[in-house]
Amino acid sequence: MTDPFDLAHHEPEPVAAEPAIAAAPPPYLAALNEPQQQAVEATEGPVLVLAGAGTGKTRVLTTRLAHILFSGRARPGEVLAVTFTNKAANEMKSRIESLLGRPVESLWLGTFHAMAARILRRHAELVGLESNFTILDTDDQVRLLKQILSAADIDEKQWPARNLAIMIGRWKDRGLRPDKVDADAGGDFALGQAPALYAAYQQRLTTLNAADFGDLLLHCLTIFTRHAEVLAEYQGRFRYLLVDEYQDANVAQYLWLRLLAQQHRNLCCVGDDDQSIYGWRGAEVGNILRFERDFPGAQVIRLEQNYRSTPHILGAAAGLIAHNSGRLGKTLWTDATEGEKVVVRSVWDGEDEARVVGEEIEALQRDGGSLDEIAILVRAAFQMREFEDRFLTLGLPYRVIGGLRFYERREIRDANAYFRLVVQAHDDLAFERVVNLPKRGLGDATMQALHGLARAREISLDQAARELVTTDELRPQARRALAGFLESLQRWRQRRGDLSHVELAELVLDESGYTAMWQHDKAPDAPGRLENLKELIHALEEFESLESFLEHVSLVMENEQASDSDKVNIMTLHAAKGLEFDSIFLPGWEEELLPHQRALDEGGTTALEEERRLAHVGLTRARQRVHLSFAANRRVYGHWRAGLPSRFVEELPGEHLEMRSETGFYAGRAAAGEESFFASSAGRPSFHDPAATSGGLIVEGRAERVPVRQATADFAAGDRVFHQKFGYGRVMQVDGNRLEVTFDKAGTKKVVDSFVSPA
DNA sequence: TAGGGAATATTTTTT
DNA sequence: ATATTCCCTA
């Protein structure tokens, strides 16, 4: 009620002016197609917007929100809009502001976790926390669980803390508090003690005044169910709720939304069941499939006009995803002209694949294409290296998207631990992290003593340390070091009043010796770490206080990606969701890699369908062209393995494909006495090569040997050839069946012609 | 306490 | 192959 920015007040057209608006729709509506308009205007009651890839989902979401505000249906503080990533939240915010033509501050717009944290800070005492509770990240969690495992005398070797963390995370995803977890839910983890360990972990978190990511939602649920008046407050407040990427919501998030939406029932969820690729981290496709049942009277609006891809790409994607069952079903269509067919190519191995992709990219570049508009989407990170290697030799600029985030770096986490300790003296995890960093000569013995005292007295490590230095318990050296550390902490805490938080941060990093530690480190990455620390200080400047910065770090820190010069993008298929590029390369469409073997092992058919959706996401990222490829051989963790084309290749409708496989290629292998890639396929799913009709490759992937194409190839000087061991090269001289070949990489060699094939 | 050598585990990722 | 993590010894 005290929102500083009350839109309804400033708005020249209050609710009474509604008919006039309807008669002449505002410009932002006119720019939308029919179903998009419906999705924007269906403000009342539950709405599910099924938005296929490239159908203008974000546009609908933002316009809908703007429409709700413009029409005076709600003030900014009465709208809750949730996303999964900060990137999505930021994008939505800036687009809404540009639609409204002014900044909006009081909106509840952010990630599920940020919004839940905001609520939880206000009512923390209801779940036994203080409002300044610490938010632990995955790393802290695992450290804590390690302690709990060792306290319970469980061999961390046999039952890794990380696995327990994942297990607990999944329980939290499903909204299960320790008392709700089945006694046998943990399987044989630590001989069935997992649920008890979960309870101990929660106990410990409360003592530490800390919450992990899952708790943010879970504690909210606890508060909502146990304190009707608190729930009622938020239910009354949020007149309209919007949810992005609903297919990614887990059960806890679903319950959270359902509770909050109960009073006004104006819940609009936007999502695409065909893009659900996060089941492995708790997302429940069931949420979106059950929407109409969960919210009776719900309208379902389908956005099916695709503004991104060509008909061939959409056709290929549609044919693939049609193999999934249990879909809500959408048929994407487009006005676009036909465009290029999806290029499917077989290659010998990963290196070959990278070479071919490199060539294609150079060709695109020659035709005036921008590298920024090209992306290589891989299933697993290890596939990236091959491309990086190749692009380095070609001098082709690239960037890798994803990977370690800024705040996950060790030095940043260390620095933050110092800040946390200054702000919150009893942050034991932070204390432990930095008490001996840089080395102060405080080892196991000291820590044992500290922990013992802290546990016995139920006090924090900081307090325990203060007591311990007044006794003779520690060796004089350790005692002096610990006293010095405590003195520094005290000094820094006192200076919070007279220094700005930025100056204080610099002082802490400096006086603690942390900066000096890296300055003296001769490791090659030390200078980079110092750079990062500088960047951290720089980032601090944008915040009012250390506290607000720390909240930002744990919840809202962006994955800064400098959009610098023109570069090819390399990323995983997961990281590509929500992005689009002119040209997409999809390497590694092989059995065991694209339907990933581990996914299949763990999740069976469900996982297979998720893998298929992943492939579908890959295809639908492309505006103009897709080149996909599979390799006959791939080096996996140092071992060569023969592979089969992915079953997904087979599932693509042939009319949208163009096969480009070098004829005679595999024969060359067979002739050289290698085990053919198809020959190794006995007992594997059979593979029908769509090229069989056009390219004269292998027809059925049965166990028989590929017919040897006996040297129809007479080589002449100047021919490009390929050799299994030496790679590509050019024939310099012919002497009977012996060739002198200058290889691109291996230099000049004499080889027998049956060992090379035409390239 | 530190540093080296062995052991281990390598899908996907956000908060 | 490789990177990280862990354990043990000096």
At residue A276's C-alpha, the angle toward residues A119 and A42, to 5°, is 65
Length A638 CA → C2 C1' (Å): 9
Contact (Cβ atoms closer than 8 angstroms) between residue A738 and residue A750? yes
Q: Is A522 a catalytic residue?
A: no
pLDDT single digits (tens) A201-251: 999 999 999 999 999 999 999 999 999 999 999 999 999 999 999 999 999
Q: Is the CB of A137 under 7 A from strand B?
A: yes
Q: Would you mind telling me the total number of residues written for chain A in this entry?
A: 759
DSSP-assigned letter for residue A748: E
Q: Write out A177-192 in H/E/C secondary structure.
A: CHHHCCCCCCCCHHHH
Which residues from 567-596 of A have any strand B atom under 7 Å from their CB? Answer: 571-572, 574-575, 596
The reported pLDDT for the residue numbered A739 is 67
Would residue A189 be called left, alpha or beta, if left means φ above 0 and alpha means ψ between -120 and 50 degrees?
beta
Closest Cα to residue A418, out of A501, A500, A512? Answer: A512
Q: What is the pLDDT of residue A692?
A: 31
What is the DSSP secondary-structure string of A480-508? HHHHHHHHHHHHHHHTTTTS-HHHHHHHH
Cβ atoms A567, A400 nearer than 8 A:
no
Write out pLDDT tens, residues A280-312.
989 998 899 899 999 999 999 999 999 999 999
Protein chain A, residues 348-377, with a C-beta closer than 7 Å to any atom of nucleic acid strand B: none
A390-394, A691-695, A715-719: range with highest mean pLDDT:
A390-394
Please state the pTM of the whole predicted model: 0.81
Which residues lie below 8 Å from residue A424, measured CB to CB, with a gap of 6+? A132, A134, A209, A430
**E strand or H helix at A333, and its extent?**
none
Residue A10's pLDDT is 38
Q: What angle do CA A227, A233, A239 make, to 5 degrees?
A: 135
Strand C contact with A524 (CB < 7 A):
no
Strand, coil or helix: A624: strand
Would the Cβ of A157 be found within 7 angstroms of any atom in strand C? yes
Which of A36, A37, A43, A57 is an active site residue? A57
pLDDT-derived band of residue A521, with 50, 70 and 90 as boundaries?
Answer: confident
User: Which residues, 6+ apart, have CB-to-CB distance to A739 below 8 Å?
Assistant: A715, A721, A731, A732, A733, A750, A751, A752, A753, A756
A689 pLDDT more than 70:
no
> A336 exposed, middle or buried (CB, 10 Å; 0-12, 13-18, 19+)?
middle
Q: What percent of chain A has pLDDT over 90?
A: 51
In 3-state terms, what secondary structure has residue A464?
helix
Q: A516 and A497 in contact (C-beta within 8 Å)?
A: no
Residue A193 has a pLDDT of 86
pLDDT tens digits for range A462-515: 999 999 889 888 888 888 889 999 999 999 999 998 999 999 999 999 999 988
Q: Straight-line distance from CA A443 to C1' B12, in Å? A: 38
A640 touches strand C (CB under 7 A): no
Burial of A455 (C-beta count, 10 Å sphere; 0-12/13-18/19+):
exposed
Confidence of residue A720 (pLDDT cuts 50, 70, 90): confident
